[in-house]
Amino acid sequence: MTPMLRSTLLEHDALCVRLATREADRLGAQRLRYTVFVEELGGDGALVDHNGRFERDVYDPVCDHLVLVDQARSEADLDHVVGAYRLMPGERAHLHGFYCASEYDLSVLEQSGRKLLEVGRSCLHRDVRGGIGLFQLWAGLSDYIEARGVEILFGVASFHGTDVARIAHPLALLYHTYLAPPDLRVTARPPHAVGMDLMPKAQIDRRAAAQQIPALLKSYLRLGGFVGEGAWVDRPFNTTDVCLILDVARVDAKARGLYAGHFAHRGA
């Protein structure tokens, strides 16, 4: 049974966040993903429905979908979902495996005995980027994590494009500064794995590198997140992926304060 979130409905003007329990919400999330990942970023996939404009795959039916809804938009037209997160609890992974497992060897996490949550397909409609929408999604994710007792959060974070040379500086910065400790260090699988140790630390243009790192990945890193060993080039989806890992227990009070309650306890 899907757990109820203490912040099942977090309102800010017309926006609210909830777990998708209706088909309209699930379809709205897939429509938003099509808009962002296919139309904006040029991605594709075996189950993408170009006629209906839905980005979907085999993992969708066994995942929970956290959606940010604009209540002023039409649910009938499926444009009411303006933000989405796809969540795979570890106890369901036996049904279809983790999405990340096709790109990374996750055995160090799977054998840890700790409670896992894979997050993915995170996206926001262009109209709500840079505003309150991301914080509302994170607040909903925080409640989901607490409700399930999640200990380790992980998932791929993507750089747009497959030209590794273009992102050599941010990849090298991630390798030298944020490489996961051995007990969390997943490794990219061949044949599409590429090394991230592309230059000595002293040669990295840190300002340029920081500008290229996706905003969501930066947020996780500020919370104490790490990245796995190696990047993975996903040509059909037109991305270069890194695997983010966040040990919830290692998120200290100072980092929690940066996000004004995200991943922190809030009263009922």
pLDDT in tens, 67-111: 999 999 989 889 999 999 999 999 999 998 999 999 999 999 999
Query: What tens digit of pLDDT does each residue of 170-222 get?
Result: 999 999 999 999 999 999 999 999 999 999 999 999 999 999 999 889 989 99
The answer to whether 100 and 178 have CB atoms below 8 angstroms apart is no
Stretch 248-256: mean pLDDT: 70
Separation of alpha carbons 67 and 45, rounded Å: 22
Q: Report pLDDT for 263.
A: 42
Sorting pLDDT into bands at 50, 70 and 90, what band is 45?
Answer: confident
> pTM of this prediction?
0.89
50 vs 8, more confident = 50
Q: What contacts 33, CB < 8 A, 6 or more positions away? A: 54, 55, 56, 84, 121, 123
Look at residue 139 and tell me whether its pLDDT is greater than 90. Answer: no
Sorting pLDDT into bands at 50, 70 and 90, what band is 256?
Answer: low
Nearest to 165 by CA among 100, 229, 233: 233
Nearest to 150 by CA among 87, 220, 84: 87
Sorting pLDDT into bands at 50, 70 and 90, what band is 260?
Answer: very low
70 vs 262, more confident = 70
Q: Report pLDDT for 189.
A: 98
